[in-house]
């Protein structure tokens, strides 16, 4: 994979998650600020380390930055739970995990506005990053805290990491 599908259809939602319409990925990421839902999964191992993915250079949003373990859009006609399971399998090759919903909130950047459903899980199985990513690795929370504000993480990850108090 070397590019995102700009024609992929996303639901447009209100701040409570009620679907109000639909738009393409391109329309959602062009500065329109159409609110669309996404899922995040923070994957910890039993030592308390957090897996972070590295975004590939070809991504249209925050290329080359370290980001949440799993992150992806909820497709039109898909529930948050379905998207979480699909994205974890597609991005990291993990299945059979138990997600815990942590929070949901609106994140806004200069290009987009997302309704984020954030989850966590503890997983000690094999992680196999797909070609959707530029790899990934486990980080200690201390190492993440030391690197905050240096520009190596996505703003969304930094915001959520602080919000959740990891």
Per-residue pLDDT of 69-105, as tens digits, reads 999 999 999 999 999 999 999 999 999 999 999 999 9
Q: Which residue has the higher pLDDT, 2 or 47?
A: 47
Tens-place pLDDT, residues 6-35: 678 999 999 989 999 999 988 998 889 999
Residue ranges of the domains in the chain?
A: 9-164
First CA to last CA across the chain, in angstroms? 32
What rounded mean pLDDT belongs to the chain?
A: 93
Judged on CB neighbours under 10 Å (0-12, 13-18, 19+), 18 is exposed
Is residue 21 within 8 Å of residue 38, measured between CB atoms?
Answer: no
Task: Assess whether pLDDT exceeds 70 at residue 2.
Answer: no
pLDDT band, very low/low/confident/very high, at 1 (cuts 50, 70, 90) = very low
- What percentage of the chain's residues is helix, strand, coil (to nearest 5)? 20, 35, 45
pLDDT tens for 111-125 read 889 999 999 999 999
pLDDT of residue 158: 95
Interval 1-10 mean pLDDT: 68
In CATH, 9-164 is 3.40.50.300: no
Helix, coil or strand: residue 160: helix
Per-residue pLDDT, 4: 57
Percent of the chain with pLDDT over 90: 83
Quote the pLDDT of residue 159: 93
């Amino acid at each position: 994979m070397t590019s995102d599908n700009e024609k992929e259809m996303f639901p447009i939602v209100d701040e409570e998650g009620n679907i109000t319409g639909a738009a393409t990925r391109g329309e959602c990421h062009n500065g329109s600020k159409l609110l669309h839902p996404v899922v995040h999964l923070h994957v910890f191992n039993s030592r308390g380390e957090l897996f972070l993915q590295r975004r590939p250079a070809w991504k249209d949003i925050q290329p080359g930055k370290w980001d949440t373990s799993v992150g992806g859009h909820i497709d039109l006609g898909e529930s948050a739970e379905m998207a979480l399971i699909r994205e974890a399998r597609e991005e990291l090759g993990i299945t059979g995990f138990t997600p815990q919903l942590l929070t949901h909130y609106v994140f806004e950047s200069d290009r987009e506005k997302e309704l984020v459903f954030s989850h966590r899980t503890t997983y000690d199985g094999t992680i196999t990053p797909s070609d959707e990513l530029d790899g990934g690795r486990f980080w200690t929370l201390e190492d993440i805290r030391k690197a905050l504000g240096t520009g190596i993480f996505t703003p969304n990850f930094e915001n959520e990491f602080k919000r959740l108090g990891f």
